[in-house]
Chains A and B, each alone.
Chain A
Amino acid sequence: MSSQAPAQTSVPPLSDYAGIVGRPEIDELWTLAKSLENRTVKMVNSTAVGGGVAEILNRAVPLFQEVGLPTTWDVITGGETFFSVTKAFHNALHGMAYDDRPEWFDLFLATNEENRRRMKFDENFVVIHDPQPLPLVSARAGKTNHWLWRCHIDLSQPNERVWEFLRPFVEKFDASMFSSAAFTHSLPIPQYLIAPTIDPLADKNRELEPQFIRSVVDKFGIDASRPIISQISRFDRLKDPLGVIQAYKMVKKYQDCQLVLAGGGASDDPEGSVVYAEVQEAAKGDSDIFLLNLPPWSHLEINALQRASTIVVQKSLREGFGLTVTEALWKRKPVVASAVGGIFRQVFHKLTGMLVHSAEGCAYQIRYLLSNPALAQRLGDAGHDHVKENFLITHTIKNYLLLFWLLERNRQ
């Protein structure tokens, strides 16, 4: 077992973002970066591909390098059993059912210890993402560098047993970052509110030619002339794909439409294939439901499917932030999303999208927007502006730099 270094992707230079966020934002980001020049950074998470965290790091790491902070990104490794355990923890921290097995804690600690022994943590700033690599913080003993924990998940109603097991590790960090105030806890370390972001110039979000969008839709056999409802998400119970099918079937009684459920798996999610089979079963017999289990490099296809959609749904039961919502809003799409987790920070009901609490509510809002396309467009436009002001990759770079700056100043 060894820590993996994800392949570096090619990212446009920071100056290319000036056309989107404005030259002043970029100039001020450089001013901030200059005050931290040559500080080194290490990012650690549990998967190199699949899921929002890997996507953010793929884009953010090269940008940190560009502004003068040498940054490395390591991924912890473990066997299938380890990732089954971390998935169970993930679900439990989201407040879902948890089958208490004390031996899981031992396995979790042992795998992290193996990773710790093989990794070095000499950088000025070490950022640990999510709960999977939390015990690596024990490597800070005797070091003077700064350690930060970035929590991307909804911790508002965690299973107490799992949270109390993990909490002592969290308390060893210098600071933590959460996507919503509701996810924070009574911790002895500072808890900062920092939203995740998307890269507007990445293949997943950049502008596409209409012909390309049409070719993708045609490739999957979707009828571009009829309304397309989509949910782009991993096949994960917390994303409630069965609930989306239920809502679609209610809509279908009144309006003609198609449903696209597209997503892939993450290497740290062994549950995906089971959920996919359940969804296949629920969709059986309806030729207007398209289940697309796409490989992790399908960014352009995902982009095209979102842009081809009439309405984008995110009917999650729990959600750390919901970057697929951010992506849809950026593409000016009307969004119908569950009122959970970080979605609250993105979708303001009837202003930047529609918030729902049930399959019935989801179906009603889809019907309403299908019947009121002008309103749907207004929501999409407002959503785009909201993302531009708050949830683009340049904000991630800036917020990390600010936090690094604060940590250094507070220690002086």
Chain B
Amino acid sequence: MKHAKEPFQFVAASYLICIGHDRPTTLRDLSQSIARASEASIFCHTFHSLSMHHYSSYSSDFAQWAMAACNEQQLAERLGGIDIRQFVAIRDLRSALVHTIDSYLHAQPRSSDRPAFEPFFFSETREIALPLEMRASNLTELSEGIRRLSLHSLHFHFVNSRLRLHLRTNDFSHWIEKELDFPELAARIDRVDFYTNTLQGVRDGILESIRPWINR
């Protein structure tokens, strides 16, 4: 079994939502608000909402609002289709969101100023990440640690990692490739789909991917 020089440090991640003052009531205002919103706010309504969306149609709060409050199904689908896995910086994600809304409104100008049923409440995520007394030096220990993570902490390591690493990957794959030199396993873990799985399903998928590699 391969052992890493640098162990993997597990983190307990938790989040609080802080409600902001910006409350657009039309799609035009929403686009302008996204353009000037803080990075913590864009994160809150895209990356963070992804971990909370089991009972809504879209994981993006912007898409959900376009559908539920503005009754703009097509725009909702387009916003919901923006894959956050493609972004390693919030500024690029912000541009994609604004571009999607503005292009839609250019084609559907009457939708720009139609009042929504309720305002969009811009919020920010406050992330608190504390190191756990849990480290992994090999794949057995990594699997055990992943099993013992809360779902929010799993989300921190697997989804939010892209913004932290500025790489299109997750903490587990990054460590496996760098420390254990298993690029194939790293790629396989990164393909676990967090859009179509619950976080528990994501956990199971990662563990399933690691299992055949443990004794290599």
The chain A residues found within 8 Å of chain B, CB to CB, are 22-25, 27-28, 31-32, 35, 178, 181-182, 184, 186, 190-194, 348, 351-352, 382, 385-386, 389, 398-399, 402-403, 405-406
CB within 8 Å for A348 and B56 given contacts A32-B14, A181-B121, A181-B123: yes
Evaluate contact between B16 and A28: CB separation under 8 angstroms: no
Evaluate contact between B19 and A28: CB separation under 8 angstroms: no
* Chain-A contact segment, one of B148-156, B172-180, B189-197: B148-156
Q: Among B14, B118, B121, B132, find the residue whose CB has the most chain A CB atoms closer than 10 A.
A: B14
Evaluate contact between A32 and B148: CB separation under 8 angstroms: no
Q: Which residues of the other chain, B, contact A32 by a CB distance below 8 angstroms?
A: 12, 14, 128, 130
Residue B126 lies at the interface, judged by CB distance under 8 Å to chain A: yes
Per a CB cutoff under 8 Å, which of A182, A184, A406 touches B118? A182
Evaluate contact between B19 and A178: CB separation under 8 angstroms: yes
Residue B96 lies at the interface, judged by CB distance under 8 Å to chain A: no
In the assembled complex, the Cα of A23 lies from the Cα of B14 at a distance in Å of: 16
For the complex, count residues of B whose C-beta is within 8 A of A. Answer: 24
Evaluate contact between B16 and A192: CB separation under 8 angstroms: yes
In the assembled complex, the Cα of A352 lies from the Cα of B18 at a distance in Å of: 25
CB within 8 Å for A27 and B16 given contacts A182-B118, A193-B123, A348-B55: no
Per a CB cutoff under 8 Å, which of A24, A181, A184, A398 touches B153? A24
The 7 residue pairs across chains A and B that have the minimum distance between CB atoms: A181-B121, A28-B12, A193-B17, A24-B150, A348-B55, A184-B19, A191-B19
Interface of B is mostly: strand
Interface residues of B in 1-59 (CB under 8 A from A): 12, 14-19, 21, 54-56
> Chain B's nearest CB lies how many Å from the CB of A339?
11
Q: Among A24, A194, A351, A385, find the residue whose CB has the most chain B CB atoms closer than 10 A.
A: A24
Q: Which residues of the other chain, B, contact A382 by a CB distance below 8 angstroms?
A: 55
Evaluate contact between B128 and A402: CB separation under 8 angstroms: yes
Q: Which residues of the other chain, A, contact B128 by a CB distance below 8 angstroms?
A: 32, 402, 405-406
> Chain B's nearest CB lies how many Å from the CB of A154?
14
Q: What does the 1/0 interface line of B131-148 toward A look like (CB < 8 Å)?
A: 011000000000000001
A sample of 14 cross-chain residue pairs with beta-carbon separation below 8 angstroms, ordered by A number, consists of: A24-B149, A24-B150, A28-B12, A28-B132, A28-B153, A31-B130, A31-B132, A191-B19, A194-B16, A348-B55, A351-B55, A402-B14, A402-B126, A406-B128
CB within 8 Å for A406 and B55 given contacts A27-B148, A31-B132, A181-B121: no
Q: Which residues of the other chain, A, contact B121 by a CB distance below 8 angstroms?
A: 181-182, 184
Q: Which residues of the other chain, A, contact B130 by a CB distance below 8 angstroms?
A: 31-32, 35
Q: What does the 1/0 interface line of B82-110 toward A look like (CB < 8 Å)?
A: 00000000000000000000000000000
CB within 8 Å for A190 and B18 given contacts A22-B150, A28-B153, A181-B123: yes
Evaluate contact between B123 and A398: CB separation under 8 angstroms: no
Per a CB cutoff under 8 Å, which of A35, A193, A389, A403 touches B19? A193
**Known interface pairs A28-B14, A32-B128, A406-B128; 17 further A-B residue pairs with C-beta atoms within 8 A, sorted by A's residue number:** A25-B150, A27-B148, A28-B150, A28-B153, A32-B12, A35-B130, A178-B19, A181-B123, A191-B19, A192-B17, A192-B18, A193-B17, A348-B55, A348-B56, A351-B55, A402-B14, A402-B126
Evaluate contact between A406 and B19: CB separation under 8 angstroms: no
In the assembled complex, the Cα of A385 lies from the Cα of B199 at a distance in Å of: 14
Q: Which residues of the other chain, A, contact B151 by a CB distance below 8 angstroms?
A: 24
In the assembled complex, the Cα of A398 lies from the Cα of B152 at a distance in Å of: 12
Q: Which residues of the other chain, A, contact B17 by a CB distance below 8 angstroms?
A: 192-193
In the assembled complex, the Cα of A162 lies from the Cα of B24 at a distance in Å of: 27
Q: Which residues of the other chain, B, contact A398 by a CB distance below 8 angstroms?
A: 14
In the assembled complex, the Cα of A181 lies from the Cα of B150 at a distance in Å of: 26
Q: Which residues of the other chain, A, contact B133 by a CB distance below 8 angstroms?
A: 31
In the assembled complex, the Cα of A127 lies from the Cα of B124 at a distance in Å of: 22
Q: Which residues of the other chain, B, contact A191 by a CB distance below 8 angstroms?
A: 18-19
Q: Which residue of A lies closest to B126 (CB)?
A: A406
In the assembled complex, the Cα of A399 lies from the Cα of B54 at a distance in Å of: 21
Q: Which residues of the other chain, A, contact B153 by a CB distance below 8 angstroms?
A: 24, 28
Interface residues of B in 153-170 (CB under 8 A from A): 153
Q: Which residues of the other chain, B, contact A23 by a CB distance below 8 angstroms?
A: 148
Q: Among A28, A35, A348, A386, find the residue whose CB has the most chain B CB atoms closer than 10 A.
A: A28
> Chain B's nearest CB lies how many Å from the CB of A355?
12
Q: Which residue of B lies closest to A348 (CB)?
A: B55
In the assembled complex, the Cα of A389 lies from the Cα of B123 at a distance in Å of: 21
CB within 8 Å for A386 and B14 given contacts A23-B148, A193-B123, A405-B128: no
Q: Which residue of B lies closest to A24 (CB)?
A: B150
In the assembled complex, the Cα of A182 lies from the Cα of B148 at a distance in Å of: 36
Per a CB cutoff under 8 Å, which of B12, B54, B118 touches A31? B12
In the assembled complex, the Cα of A382 lies from the Cα of B149 at a distance in Å of: 23
Q: Which residues of the other chain, B, contact A193 by a CB distance below 8 angstroms?
A: 16-19, 123
In the assembled complex, the Cα of A28 lies from the Cα of B15 at a distance in Å of: 13
Evaluate contact between B148 and A386: CB separation under 8 angstroms: no
Q: Which residues of the other chain, A, contact B126 by a CB distance below 8 angstroms?
A: 402, 406
Evaluate contact between B16 and A352: CB separation under 8 angstroms: no
